[in-house]
Structure 1
Amino acid sequence: MASAGQRRLLTAFVVGLVTSVCGTVLQVQSDDRSDSRYVSSRSEIKEHRLAKMGRLAYDMEVAMPSSLTSAPLLECFQVAQPVLEPSASGKAVTVTLMEHQFANSYGSPFVGEYTPPDFDFDHVVINFTVEVRGRQFDRWGTVYLDNVNIFSTSTAEPTPNGITWTWRKDVTPYLSLWKQPHTLIFQLDNVITDVYTGLLNSTFTATFFKSGAQGGAPPADLIIPVSASKSPATTSFWTYPEENATASVTFPRNVNRAVFSANVKAQGNDEFWWSNVPQSAVDAFEPDAGTYPGYSPFREVQISIDGMLAGVYWPYPTIFTGGVVPQLHRPIVGIDAFDLRDHEIDISPWLPLLCDGKEHTFGIKVVGLVDNGETTAALSNTTEGSWYLVGKVFLWLDEEGSVTTGTLGTVTTEPKIAFEQKLTRNATGYNETLDYKVSVKRDFGITSTLVTKKGNGTATWSQSLEYSNVGGLYLNGYGGINTFLTTGKEKAEVAGWDYETSFSYPLFCNTTTQYLPAGNLTLWAQLDQALKLEVKGDGVFPSGAEAFTGEWDGSLLDTERNGTANYSRYGDNTITTGVGRTHQIFHFGGLKGETAKELYFRDVAAFNNSVVSDVEVIGDLAI
C-alpha cells in the first residue's frame, strides 16, 4: 500500500496522465474530469496493468538501437544449485530426445517416440537448451511422457541480437516411466509474423546413469496421471476455468503410500493474480485505466477426491521473463521461471477409500475471493482465466495380492479470511486510490487408520498456511503496489514414511505507468522477491542435497532477488531509453537434524543485460 508520502511524490512527478490502451489512440487527459479535452479511449478488452506494462516496455526496448546480429548470444540463466551428475568412472548414456525449431507452434507440439536405453540405470537428468534471435514474447513449454507431465518451463524474452539458455533438471522421480517406451510430447507455443520473428531453436536431451545418491524417497513404483488424457495428439493439461479439471482414476489395491503432485501455471488475466484487485473494485478506475482483473490477489489450488477436499496448494507467485518490465529478467531470470515447481500433497490418508478397486474422481480447482466491498470476503467458485492445470499420483506398492484397508478420517477445512478495502476520490468525484488488506489462514488436516502389508498404523496429512497482501492502486489506477507474503508448514506421517516442508514466499512490487501531456511515456518498476524452502524426509522430488557429498536429512534453499527498471520514450518516438538492475543472493544447504551446512552460494548482479558482479562458491560435489 502506498503511503501518503509516496503518493505525494509520485503525483508531483506526474504533470498529467494520458490513457493508453492496446489498439487505441493516446488521448490527453488532465486531472480535471470536467475538462473538455478528456476523451475516453478505454479498450473493451480487459488487460492487467502489469501485462500491459511489460508489453509497452518490450516494445520500447525493441525500438532502441541495437548492434549487429553477429554479436554473441546473451546467456540467460536462473540461479540454482547444481544437479546430480554421473560419476567420472561410471557409465552414462545421453540421448537426444528432441531437436526442433518452434515457429508457429500453437496446437502443433513436437511428438516423438521414446525408447529406454539398453542398460541398467537408476537416475535421469534432462537438459533443455534454446537459442533465439529477434523479437518474441516469453512463451510457456511443457513436456509429457504420454499423459504424465514431467517438466514445465517458460522461455526468456530475446533481444534482437539473440539469447541462449540451458536448464538441467533431475527427473529421477519418474524412473518407472523412463524404464518403459512412451510417446514424448513437448509443447512450446510460439508465433512467427513480420513482427514476432524469434524462432525457438530447441534441444532436449536426457542423461541416464547409476548413482548411490538419493535425496528424498526412492522413486515411486507407479505413476498415475490426473490429466485431460490428450496423448498422443497433444499435451494433457486442462485450461481452467474454461475446462472442468476432473479425471477418473482407479488405484491398485496394494498401495502403502500415495502422493498427489500438482503443476499449475497462471495465464491471461490471472498471470499476475497476486496483484489482482478485490472483485468489488474491478470497475473502480474504469473511466481511466479500464476494468481490472479481480477475484482478489489470493489464489488457492484445491485438490478433491470424490468431491471431498483432500488438500490445498497456495501457489508461488512466479513472474515470467516478460513480467512487469523485461529488463528485470535479463540475463538473470526470475525465481522458478525456467522450472515451474510441482507441489506435493500426501493423500495416503485416503487409501482406505482409494484401494477399494473402484473408480474415483480427482479434481483440481483454483479459487480466489469475492467480497462485499467493505469488510467481508469468502472463497469464490472460480477465477479469472486462465490456469493450466495438471496432476499425477505417485504410488508405492506392497507385494502383489495384498490389499490396503483401514478407516477414513475426518477433514478440517474452513479457512479464516480477513478483508478491508477503501476507495478515495478526487474533487471531481472520480476514484483516485484504492487500498486493501487481505489475509487468509487455513489449517487443514486428515488422519486415517491404515492396514497394509507393512503393518497397522495411522496416516496423517496436515497443512498450516498463512497469507497476507497489503496493496492498492494509485494515480487513478496507473500505479500499483503490493506487499505479499505466503508462509506454510506441511507434514506427512505414514508407516515407514515421513515428510515435512516449510516455506515462505515474500514479494514486493511497486510500479507506475506515466504519460505526460506531450505524449512522453515513462515506465518504472521495483520488484523484490524471495523464496525460502525447507524440505526434510521422504519427499517425492529430490531435495537437491544429493548432488553433494555427505548424508543429509533434507535441504534448505534461501534466495532473495531485487530489481528496478525504468523506460522512457518521447512522444514522437525519436528517443527511447531504458535501464534495468537486478541482484540475487542464493544460499543452498544440506540439513542434518536441525543444523544446516551451506553447500552452494551465489551472489550475482546485472545491469542493462550484462552481469557486473558474480561470486559463486560450490561445495564438494558427489561425482
Structure 2
Amino acid sequence: MGLQRFAWVAVITIGFAVSSLAIDSTSTSIVPHLSSHTLQKHDVDLTAPLLQDFQVYPPVLIASSNGSLSLTDGSSTTTDVAPVSNATSCQEVLMVYSFANSYGAPFVGNYTPPSCSFNRITLNFTVTSAGRQFDRLGTLYFGDTEIWRTSTAEPTSIGIRWTYLKDVTNYLTLFQQQQKIIFDLGNLINNIYTAPYNATLTASFFTAGDSDPPADLIFPVSARQSASNAPSVFTFPVDNATNTLTLPQNIRRAVFTIAACGQAEEEFWWSNVLSSDTQTFPQTGALYGFSPFRELQLFIDGMLAGVAWPFPIIFTGGVVPGLWRPIVGIDAFDLREDEIDITPFLPLLCDGAAHSFEIRVSGINDTGNGTGVLAETVGSNWPVTGKIFLWLDPEGSVTTGSGPLATTPDPVFQLSSSVGKLPNGTNETLTYQVNAQRSISFVSTINTANGSQTASWSQNLTYSNFGNFTAAGNTQVNNQSTSGEDLSSLNYSRSLNYPLYAFSVYGTVRDNITIFANVLRGRDVQTIGQAVFPTGLESFEPVEAVQNQYPAFQGSLLQTTQNGTATYFSNQTSNTSFSFGTTVQDMVFAGVVTSDSGNAESPPQVVSTSELFRRHVEADNSTVIEDDETVIGHSIRPAHFNSPSMNDFAGSGTRSMLGRGPPGSKAASRRK
C-alpha cells in the first residue's frame, strides 16, 4: 500500500495468538488445515514484551462459560455487565493458522453450530507477528459470503500482538447452519520480508436481550469460488462484479451492503489527481488519476439502485507507518460496509424471475477545462463483494406492488486545476479542487402480509477535496470532506461526516529517504432505527445501569478523531528503515433519543444523547503515554504492556511509492 507523494505501502499483518476468551472444554473445536508455514526463527516469543497494537472502538458484549456477560474492547479491563440467570453460552475455536507464504493458500475449515442456544455471536480475532512485513488485507468468508474484512498491524523485530472483538449477530442465520470457513490473508516470506501472521479466531455464542431480529436470509453477491477453497472476491475493474439471483417472493424488507476498499494504485484514491494532470511531474513519474473522488454503485437489472461514498481507510503502513503504532487507523481492523435499502425494488425482485446485481466503482473523467463526468472505471484495484439481507413474511405470501420510481441524476461536479512553473519551464506546483454533490431517490408502493405501504430510499451526499503539490511533487496536501444522509421509509436513517487532512514532505539525500507527515481525520456517524450491522448500541442493552434508558434510545452516535505526526527514515543501501511519531485519538459513543420516527422526507429530530463510552488515548514513539476510558460513567484503566523502544522498528516493512513491492504484495508502487 502506498500514497502518491505521501505514498506508503500499508503493511497489513494478521497474526493471532491464543484467544482471551475461555474455551468451553465441551465445545467442538474447528481447526483443520493447521499451517506448517511458520518459520521457526520468526516465531513470536510470548514471554518478551510485545508491542500491543489496538484499534479504538466501543466495547463489545462477550459471555464467559459461566453465563456472565461483560463489556470489553480487547485492550481494556473487562467491565462486568451482570450475571444472567439460566443463560447459555459456549465458545469455539474457528481457526488457528499461520499466514506465511499464503497467497493462494487461505485457511479452510468447517463450522458446525454449537450445542448451546444463542441469539448473539462475538468473534475474537487475536494475532501475533515478529519480523519484517507489509500490512496485509484479511477477509473471512462463510462459503461465498464475506463476513468480515480486516487488515493487519505492521510487525516489529521483537513482536506485536493485537486483539479485535466483533459483534456478528447480524449473521445469525448463517451461524445457525453448517458452513465452510475460508479466511484469506495473502502474505509472503523471503529473506527480506520475514514475518508470518499467527492467527486465532474464536467465536462466543450466548443469549442476551431481545434486539431487533436480524435478517432471515442472506444472499452473497461475490465471485463464488468457495467450491475451489478460494476467496470469493471480485477485483474491480478487471472483474465484472455481477451475480444473477432469484429471490424468494415473500420479502418485506431488503438491504444490500457493499464491502470495498482501494488497493495498489487505488489505496490512496483520496490523494489522486484529475486524469488530465497525471503527467504534471514527468521527472518523478505519473500520478494516479480518475480524481480523488470515488463512488461505489449498485445496479439492479442495469438500473442504478443506490450509491456509497466510501470512508478513506488508511492502513497501518499508510502515509508514514509511525502514525499507527500502537494506535491503528480508524477502522483499520474492521473495514465497515455501507448499506443501501432496496425495499423499493421489491415489486420487481419478488416476481419469481432472475435479476442481476452489479457493483461498480466510479471516479471522474475530466476534460481538462473544468468539466467532468462519472468514469466507468478506476485504477487497479478495488476488491469488492456484496450481500442482500432479507426479512421475510410468512411462507406462501407474495409481495407485489408498483415501482420503483427512480430519480437518479448524475452527480454535479465542479473541477479546477492549475500548474505553476519555474523560470526554466519545469512544472513546480499543482493545485486542484474537486467538489461533488448528489441526490437520488426511489419510491414504490409495496403490498406485503401487513398490507400496502410506501417504500422509499433517498440519499443526499456532498464532497470536496482540495489538493496541492509543491516542490515538483515532493510536498503534498489533501483536505477532503465527505458528508451525507441516507433515509429509508422503514425506520432507518444515517448521517455521516468524514473529514480528512493529510500533509507530507518527501526527501532524498544520496541513498537516504525521509518522509514527514501530519494526518488529521475523523469519522462521525449517527444511525437511527434498525441497521443491518450492529451499531454498538446492542452491547449496552443488557447493562443494568442502562436498562432504564435503553428503551428510549432510537439510535446511536459515534464520533472519533485522530491527529498524528510522524517521520520515516530509510537507507536503500543497507535496506534498513525506522519510523516514529505521535498520535492522539478521541472517541465518544452515545445513545440517541428522538422526538418522532421521522418521515420519507426527513429523519427524526434528535432530542438528546446519553454518553455510553468515551476514550482519549495518546501514543508517542510507540508508547501509550495517556489513556482515559469511561464506560457508562465509570473510569476504566486499559491494560497496557511495556512497549519496545523506537529502535526495535528497524526491521519493519514499508515501501515508498517510488519502489516496487514484493511479488503478489497487497499494494503496488504509487509511482508507475
* TM-score normalised by structure 2 residue count: 0.81
Instruction: Measure, in 2, the Cα distance between the counterparts of 1:426 and 1:53.
Output: 31
Query: Aligned AA for 2:494?
Result: T
Is 2:494 the partner of 1:514? no
Percent same amino acid at aligned positions?
Answer: 46
- 1:371 corresponds, among 366, 374, 377, to 366
Is 2:311 the partner of 1:298? no
What is the match of residue 41 of structure 1? Answer: none
Instruction: Measure, in 1, the Cα distance between the counterparts of 2:491 and 2:97.
Output: 42
- 1:264 corresponds, among 257, 260, 264, to 260
Aligned in 2, Cα 1:353/1:433: closer, same or farther, shift over 3 Å?
Answer: same
* Contact 2:141–2:147 under 8 Å retained in 1: yes
What is the match of residue 412 of structure 2? Answer: 416
Instruction: Measure, in 2, the Cα distance between the counterparts of 1:53 and 1:113.
Output: 34
Give the secondary-structure state (helix, strand or coil) at the position aligned to 1:97.
strand
Q: CA deviation at 1:213?
A: 4.8
Is 2:163 the partner of 1:166? yes
- 1:318 corresponds, among 299, 313, 316, to 313
What is the match of residue 431 of structure 1? Answer: 427
Give the secondary-structure state (helix, strand or coil) at the position aligned to 1:84.
strand
Unaligned runs of 5+ in 2: 12-43, 64-68, 70-82, 541-545, 595-605, 635-672
Instruction: Measure, in 1, the Cα distance between the counterparts of 2:576 and 2:208.
Output: 57
Cα deviation, 1:219-267, whole Å, max 9, x if unaligned, reads 1011011111111321111001011100001110000000001110110
- 1:489 corresponds, among 472, 485, 490, to 485
* Contact 2:3–2:318 under 8 Å retained in 1: no
What is the match of residue 591 of structure 1? Answer: 592
* Contact 1:259–1:393 under 8 Å retained in 2: yes
Is 2:539 the partner of 1:547? yes
* Contact 2:485–2:495 under 8 Å retained in 1: yes
Is 2:530 the partner of 1:538? yes
Give the secondary-structure state (helix, strand or coil) at the position aligned to 2:472.
helix
Aligned in 2, Cα 1:571/1:136: closer, same or farther, shift over 3 Å?
Answer: closer
Query: Aligned AA for 1:564?
Result: T
What is the match of residue 503 of structure 1? Answer: 496
Is 2:280 the partner of 1:276? no
Q: CA deviation at 1:428?
A: 1.2
What is the match of residue 49 of structure 1? Answer: 5
Is 2:204 the partner of 1:198? no
Instruction: Measure, in 1, the Cα distance between the counterparts of 2:573 and 2:60.
Output: 50
Q: CA deviation at 1:574?
A: 11
Query: Aligned AA for 2:618?
Result: A
- 2:631 corresponds, among 609, 615, 618, to 618
Instruction: Measure, in 2, the Cα distance between the counterparts of 1:47 and 1:589.
Output: 34
Cα deviation, 1:128-171, whole Å, max 9, x if unaligned, reads 10000000110000001111111000000011111000110100
Aligned in 2, Cα 1:376/1:181: closer, same or farther, shift over 3 Å?
Answer: same
Q: CA deviation at 1:592?
A: 1.6
Instruction: Measure, in 1, the Cα distance between the counterparts of 2:352 and 2:569.
Output: 64
Q: CA deviation at 1:522?
A: 2.4
Cα deviation, 1:475-527, whole Å, max 9, x if unaligned, reads 1011111000000100111xxx31011000000000011124x5543210001
**Is 351-360 or 421-430 further displaced after alignment?**
421-430
What is the match of residue 437 of structure 2? Answer: 441
- 1:523 corresponds, among 493, 515, 519, to 515
Aligned in 2, Cα 1:184/1:197: closer, same or farther, shift over 3 Å?
Answer: same
What is the match of residue 248 of structure 1? Answer: 244
Instruction: Measure, in 2, the Cα distance between the counterparts of 1:157 and 1:244.
Output: 32
Give the secondary-structure state (helix, strand or coil) at the position aligned to 2:347.
helix
- 2:115 corresponds, among 105, 115, 118, to 118
Q: CA deviation at 1:570?
A: 7.2
Q: CA deviation at 1:575?
A: 10
* Contact 2:131–2:195 under 8 Å retained in 1: yes
Is 2:216 the partner of 1:221? yes
Aligned in 2, Cα 1:277/1:400: closer, same or farther, shift over 3 Å?
Answer: same
Q: CA deviation at 1:569?
A: 5.6
Cα deviation, 1:501-557, whole Å, max 9, x if unaligned, reads 1000000000011124x5543210001110000001011111211222231211100
Cα deviation, 1:104-146, whole Å, max 9, x if unaligned, reads 0011110101000112211111111000000011000000111
Is 2:32 the partner of 1:76? no
Aligned in 2, Cα 1:607/1:169: closer, same or farther, shift over 3 Å?
Answer: same
* Contact 1:47–1:292 under 8 Å retained in 2: no
> CA RMSD of the aligned region, Å?
1.9
Is 2:563 the partner of 1:562? yes
